[in-house]
Amino acid sequence: MGICFSSASVDQSPPQSTTQFSSVATSEATTRSTMTSSSGGSSSTVSGGSCGGSFTPAGQMLAQPNLRVFSLAELKAATRNFRSDSVLGEGGFGKVYKGWLDDRATGKTTIIAVKKLNSESMQGFQEWQSEVNFLGRLSHPNLVKLLGYGLEDTELLLVYEFMAKGSLENHLFGRGASVQPLPWDIRLKILIGAARGLAFLHASDRKVIYRDFKASNILLDGSYHAKISDFGLAKNGPTASRSHVTTQVMGTYGYAAPEYVATGHLYVKSDVYCYGVVLVEMLTGLRALDTNRPSGQHSLGDWIKPHLSDRRKLKSIIDARLEGYPSKSVHHVAQLALNCLETEPKNRPSMQEIVERLEKIGSSSERPREHRAQSGSPHAVSRRGHQPLQYRSPLHPKPEATESYPLPQRS
Ligand SMILES: Nc1ncnc2c1ncn2[C@@H]1O[C@H](COP(=O)(O)OP(=O)(O)OP(=O)(O)O)[C@@H](O)[C@H]1O
Ligand SMILES: [Mg+2]
């Protein structure tokens, strides 16, 4: 749930009362069962559904959040009193804990992830609300399931399904014996899954703009099935007569689309730019933003563009940890990334087109052939600049990021 920068506020709604959610919350029940679990990808949106929402063959958007309300005591028990050895990770708005929920009736135990938000920050509260309002109404195989929430005293909590392999960021940039390089076919699988999640959001009746697409918000289950998490910055898209919404500029350095950073004009295709940056992170194993890289290479999206269209240059920037990779498939993904990183939003492909192109690339039977980039390539130089995995806070952005962008004024 990351806010790593913000600029002039243009159109910010006032925070709503917390009681709003208590009234709409029910136990996790009927509506989730109406979704199908087939693979995603179709963009046809059909109005209706049992709850007055809308659905696609692979997912559903309810009119109201349908979530379980957890007591603080329940979540304390589940996480062993938020013990430090239950911490799964930490983001800008607090820690995420692993928990175990016992169902006495069935004797079953469900593993959960509990995000404990920093309730003193108004921004944290707004993100909590947005998560409940968006993710609480959405269900799709490529969106993390929000099971419920807690709201007690000053504590704001969110309860999610547990994703056994954690975030993509950790797999790409994390260190330690437990982090193994992702092979190309797994990278492709993750990219397709995440693209399906975004395509679903963009195909909903009132297009949902996700706004914070990045490697740390792509979570992986035990089979590397990708799901998008963190809807704290999600926004309803423009009405049919408009191309964009104007809003406070928020998001993460290195990922946000140039038109959005420059003007506060947020397009559905602004998400496509962020997606393009993740595509390039997957190709290169380099972070979206790294001020330890030589000057001119800090922002991956800007620096890498000329390398994407040239096969020889492309070879020199491929992630050195990819021992063997299918060159044709990599070339096609690079082409796609180049399209996603187009300066003009309208020239970028839709997420649905991206899903289709990636599926086609994935279904080609080409065998891995190419071998890792030679040392001395721009990639090898930049890899030295990799930092250990750090969690960022909106109030304390990564120090290197502050060199390139003005710091937000945050309450
Ligand atoms: N449902 C989940 N299952 C398993 N691990 C999770 C889950 N949700 C979050 N995590 C872990 O907790 C970490 C922190 O997540 P969080 O969303 O709070 O921050 P972030 O996305 O890393 O950073 P930012 O605040 O910039 O968005 C994740 O990187 C992941 O490792
Ligand atoms: Mg996150």
Confidence at 190, pLDDT banded by 50, 70, 90: very high
User: Do 229 and 160 contact (CB within 8 A), yes or no?
Assistant: yes
**pTM score over 0.85:** no
Q: Is residue 32 part of a domain?
A: yes
**41 within domain boundaries:** yes
Centre of ligand 2 to C-alpha 9, Å, is 23
Q: Which residue has the higher pLDDT, 20 or 84?
A: 84
Are 369 and 275 contained in the same domain?
yes
Evaluate if residue 95 carries a pLDDT over 80.
yes
At residue 293, does pLDDT exceed 90?
yes
Question: CB within 6 Å of ligand 1 — which residues?
Answer: 1-2, 88-93, 96, 113, 115, 144, 160, 162-163, 166-167, 170, 216-217, 219, 229-230, 391-392
Q: What is the CATH number of the domain that holds 257?
A: 1.10.510.10
Pair 257, 396 in one domain: yes
Q: What is the pLDDT of residues 195-250, one digit of tens each?
A: 999 999 999 877 999 999 999 999 999 999 999 999 989 988 888 788 898 988 88
Give the chain's domain count: 2
Please give the number of the atom of ligand 1 that sits closest to the Cα of 162.
3
Residue identifier of the C-alpha nearest atom 24 of ligand 1: 2
134 and 205 in one domain?
no
Predicted pLDDT of residue 239: 84
Tokens (6 digits) for 331: 């070339």
Residues 67, 153, single domain; the answer is: yes
Which of 219, 224, 250, 274 gets mutated to test ligand 1 (max ligand atoms within 8 A of its CB)?
219
98 and 23 in a common domain: yes
Q: Whose CA is nearest to atom 15 of ligand 1?
A: 91
Indicate whether 5 belongs to any domain: no
The answer as to whether 6 is a domain residue is no
Query: Per DSSP, which regions of 178-249 are E strands?
Result: 208-209, 218-220, 226-228, 235-236, 245-246
Task: Judge whether residue 254 has pLDDT over 60.
Answer: yes
Contact 293, 385 (CB under 8 A): yes
Cα 82 to ligand 2 centroid, rounded to whole Å: 19
C-alpha 245/C-alpha 223 separation (Å) is 37
Gap between the terminal Cα atoms of the chain: 17
Q: Which of 167, 179, 218, 274 to mutate to test the pocket of ligand 1 (most atoms within 8 A of CB)?
A: 167
Task: Tell me, yes or no, whether 13 lies in a domain.
Answer: no
Residue where one domain finishes, among candidates 161, 191, 223: 161
pLDDT category, 397, cuts 50, 70, 90?
very low
Q: In terms of domains, do 235 and 290 share one?
A: yes
Better-predicted residue by pLDDT, 212 or 400: 212
Q: Nearest bound ligand to CA 165?
A: 1
**Whose Cα sits closest to atom 6 in ligand 1?**
166
Of 135, 161, 187, the residue at which a domain comes to its end is: 161
Measured in angstroms, how far is the CA atom of residue 330 from the centroid of ligand 1? 28
Boundary (domain end) residue, out of 132, 161, 190: 161
Query: Would 12 be classed as within a structural domain?
Result: no
Residues 6+ apart with CB under 8 A from 261: 7, 249, 251
Same-domain status, 337 and 226: yes
Q: Is residue 4 part of a domain?
A: no
- 46-72 pLDDT per residue, tens: 222 334 555 565 888 887 888 999 999
Q: Which atom of ligand 1 is nearest to the CA of 96?
A: 12
Cβ count near 390 (within 10 Å): 12
Reported as a pLDDT band with limits 50, 70 and 90, residue 81 is very high
Q: How high is the pLDDT of residue 55? A: 55
Structure tokens at 403: 């060199």
Q: Which ligand is nearest to the CA of 252?
A: 1
375 and 289 housed in the same domain: yes
Residue 78: band (very low, low, confident or very high) from pLDDT cuts 50, 70, 90: very high
CA 47 – ligand 1 centroid, Å: 32
- Asked if residue 359 has pLDDT above 80, the reply is yes
Q: Is residue 96 part of a domain?
A: yes
Domain with residue 77: its CATH number is 3.30.200.20
Q: Same structural domain for residues 151 and 194? A: no
Regarding whether 106 and 80 lie in a shared domain, the answer is: yes
So which residues are the catalytic ones? Answer: 212
Q: Which residues of 32-48 are buried (b: 16+ CB within 10 A; e: fewer)?
A: eeebeeeebbbbebeee
| Of 14-23, 247-256, 375-384, minimum mean pLDDT range | 14-23
Q: How confident is the model at residue 367 (pLDDT cuts 50, 70, 90)?
A: low
If you average pLDDT over residues 20-34, what whole number do you get?
27
Q: Cα-flanking dihedrals φ and ψ of residue 173, to 5°?
A: -125, -5
Q: Are 45 and 90 found together in one domain?
A: yes
Q: How far is the CA of 29 from the centre of ligand 2 (A)?
A: 26
Residues spanned by the domain of 241? 166-406
**For all residues of the chain together, what is the average pLDDT?**
78
| 135 pLDDT above the threshold of 50 | yes
pLDDT for res 375 = 42
Are 99 and 201 contained in the same domain?
A: no
Return the minimum-mean-pLDDT range out of 67-76, 252-261, 400-409: 400-409
116 is an annotated ligand-binding site residue: yes
Cα Rg of the chain, angstroms:
21
- Please, which residues bridge with residue 160 across strands? 113, 146
